[in-house]
Amino acid sequence: MAERHHLAPTELLALDPLALGLFVDAVDLGSLSAAARRHRISQPSASQAIGRLERRLGVSLLRRGPRGSRPSPEGERLAGPAREVLAALNRFAAQADAVRAGARGRIRVAASYTNAEYVLPARVVGFGAVRPDVAVRLTVANTDEVVAAVRAGEVELGFVEAPGTFAGLRTRRIGRDELAVVVAPDHPWAGRDDLPGNVLARTPLLLRERESGTRRTYEEAAARAGYRVAEPYGVMTSTAALKAAVRAGLGATVVSRLAVQDELRDGSLVTVPVSGLDLGRDLRAVWLPGQHGRLAAEFIRHVVGHPDGG
């Protein structure tokens, strides 16, 4: 492609935010197909959008291959600025949203499934009792998607349960959770007093997708104990689907104990005690330091407690 050294302001305004998002996600995920799925468009449409962006910029951004996509040298240099542009657009959209809302405030929150279904509802209701003039808009996604939304400025605050650290984000512990191994009452493991961690690890289980904080917690707990986790028997993208499959006798799973309280009470699922694995985890709030507004800071103080700076 012929190289162009700069874009005029009018050309910058014509850049397609969707194509920029596809480019950044393809770099982060290592696959244009995966980026297309995240944006809920077809792979050919994603390729066309990237092609238009490359022609407008005058550089090749991605190198496609049988194992996925990787950035070209020019793409490596432009990925960071592209993220900044997207974050700025998201901040602009948030401000426009606030202006349009008028006197009624709005806070955008993203939460992983466990937090959204079992932790946040009571806290959001409590905040609403104090600030009935503020609307909390909640997006439910897996942990990786929550963190990506926070980093991109699409939401002011995220709630996750994955272990590890998140570079560039502030975090605060909001609670504690424990994973439980659950089976149907007629499963061979039901009634066992102890299941060794190595037996659990080598057994193909029904699990959430790899980006899920629950699955990541289980896999990292096994790795700390020196066990390699078997490939799952089945993968499902919701905890409700996992519980239904286990109740139907399709196998065992590892889920948040919060998510199976009702089933444990009514006896449709039973827990299996596991030895040799630490399946506890922290529930955390994450946010970009300095990027949330006054209402988001108030929400953090109410739901999380006073954050250290930010």
Q: Each residue of 174-194: pLDDT tens digit?
A: 888 899 999 999 999 998 999
Q: What is the mean pLDDT of residues 232-260?
A: 92
Please give the pLDDT value at position 104.
53
Query: Could you give the CA distance from residue 240 to residue 187 in angstroms, rounded to a whole number?
Result: 19
Residue with tokens 């190289």: 3
Domains of the chain: 9-83 (1.10.10.10), 98-174+283-303 (3.40.190.10), 175-281 (3.40.190.290)
> Does residue 149 sit in helix, strand or coil?
helix
Among candidates 20, 42, 28, which has minimal Cα distance to 90? 20
How much of the chain, in percent, has pLDDT values that exceed 70?
89
In degrees and rounded to multiples of 5, residue 239 shows phi and psi of -70, -35
The model carries a pTM of: 0.59
How much of the chain, in percent, has pLDDT values that exceed 90?
36
Query: Could you give the CA distance from residue 109 to residue 86 in angstroms, rounded to a whole number?
Result: 18
| Cα within 13 Å of Cα(59), Cβ side | 17
Query: Could you give the CA distance from residue 255 to residue 114 in angstroms, rounded to a whole number?
Result: 9
Q: What is the DSSP string of 177-194?
A: EEEEEEE-TTSTTTT-S-
Among candidates 301, 293, 287, 288, which has minimal Cα distance to 98? 293
Amino acid at residue number 280:
G
- Higher pLDDT, residue 85 or 195: 195
The answer to whether residue 17 scores a pLDDT higher than 80 is yes
Please give the pLDDT value at position 99.
60
Please give the pLDDT value at position 271.
96
Q: Each residue of 104-155: pLDDT tens digit?
A: 578 889 998 888 888 888 888 888 888 888 888 899 988 889 999 999 888 8
Residue 302 banded pLDDT, cuts 50, 70, 90:
confident
Please give the pLDDT value at position 276.
94
Please give the pLDDT value at position 102.
46
Q: Each residue of 202-221: pLDDT tens digit?
A: 999 999 988 888 998 999 99
Please give the pLDDT value at position 310.
38
Query: Could you give the CA distance from residue 136 to residue 43 in angstroms, rounded to a whole number?
Result: 33
